[in-house]
Structure 1
Amino acid sequence: MGNRSPDVDEWFAAYDNPQRDLVLAVRAAVLDADDRVSETIKWKAPTFVYKGNIASFYPKTKTHASLMFHRGAEIPDPDGLLEGEGDVSRVARFLDADDLEVKRLALQQLIRAWIALQDGEG
């Protein structure tokens, strides 16, 4: 896909974590949600962006894939995918490939909801 970054590819080439394949699968699900989403390395981790930071991986987690939505409290989440009670950020956790498949649509809807908010449609 055209929205994948060579810098992020390079980061993944050096990423030594038992959840690497799961994190890559989450990456694909996010980037496949909308071609306008891009990625970069910020805070030493892959970060998804569209008119601002959407979400970043927490790369040190070894038991699951963790994706922190920087302004997740603002994003409509009808499926309840996001965890957290804070005023700003929320976290999505994926335990394994099966869990990601169950949550894929909800994850992609969150990405699309962020885009709609940034475009004044939400």
Structure 2
Amino acid sequence: MAKHDPDVDAWFDRYDNPQRELVLAVREAILDADDRVNEVIKWQAPTFTYKGNIASFYPKTRTHASLMFHRGAALPDPDGLLEGEGDVSRIARFLDADDLVAKRNALQTLIRAWIAQQDGG
């Protein structure tokens, strides 16, 4: 069962964005990936953690949901979900609810890969 942080719930209560429902659905997909994933507010946005920062939302994006994986370049990405060329971070974009459904397994695979790396596996 997903663990919702009250501070993150309060942030979403104030979140005025046309993609609010999509961002909430991405949140649930991440929290449902593994019970050990937590959420906090960092950098004025919901951030998902497990033994470090996994990913944070770009809250100002108004045309899609955008999620920055802080060390995404180090994650295996067999489904090609992550975008970017940098040495460290990568971005996952979700255009709408159907796009999230199509990418949900790939997203959860990335979350589980992070956890495995943090646990030394």
Instruction: Identify the TM-score tier after normalising by the shorter chain.
Output: over 0.9
User: Aligned to 2:28, what secondary structure does the other structure show?
Assistant: helix
Structure-1 separation of matches of 2:24 and 2:37: 16
User: Aligned to 1:63, what secondary structure does the other structure show?
Assistant: coil
Structure-2 separation of matches of 1:18 and 1:104: 21
TM-score (norm 2): 0.99
The residue identity in structure 2 corresponding to 1:15 is: Y
2:29 counterpart residue number: 29
Q: Report how many aligned residue pairs link the two structures.
A: 121
2:106 counterpart residue number: 106
The residue identity in structure 2 corresponding to 1:108 is: Q
Task: Using the TM superposition, give the Cα deviation of residue 4 of structure 1 relative to its aligned residue in structure 2, in angstroms.
Answer: 1.1
Matched, 1:96 2:84: no
Task: Using the TM superposition, give the Cα deviation of residue 3 of structure 1 relative to its aligned residue in structure 2, in angstroms.
Answer: 1.8
What is the RMSD computed on CA atoms of the aligned residues?
0.6
Conserved 8 A contact 2:2-2:31: no
User: Aligned to 1:28, what secondary structure does the other structure show?
Assistant: helix
Task: Using the TM superposition, give the Cα deviation of residue 81 of structure 1 relative to its aligned residue in structure 2, in angstroms.
Answer: 0.1
TM-score (norm 1): 0.98
Matched, 1:17 2:13: no
Structure-2 separation of matches of 1:79 and 1:120: 22
The residue identity in structure 2 corresponding to 1:77 is: D
Cα deviation code 1:26-60 (max 9, x no counterpart): 00000000000000000000000000000000000
Task: Using the TM superposition, give the Cα deviation of residue 75 of structure 1 relative to its aligned residue in structure 2, in angstroms.
Answer: 0.6
2:55 counterpart residue number: 55
The residue identity in structure 1 corresponding to 2:4 is: R
The alignment-based identity, stated in percent, is: 80
1:6 counterpart residue number: 6
User: Aligned to 2:98, what secondary structure does the other structure show?
Assistant: helix
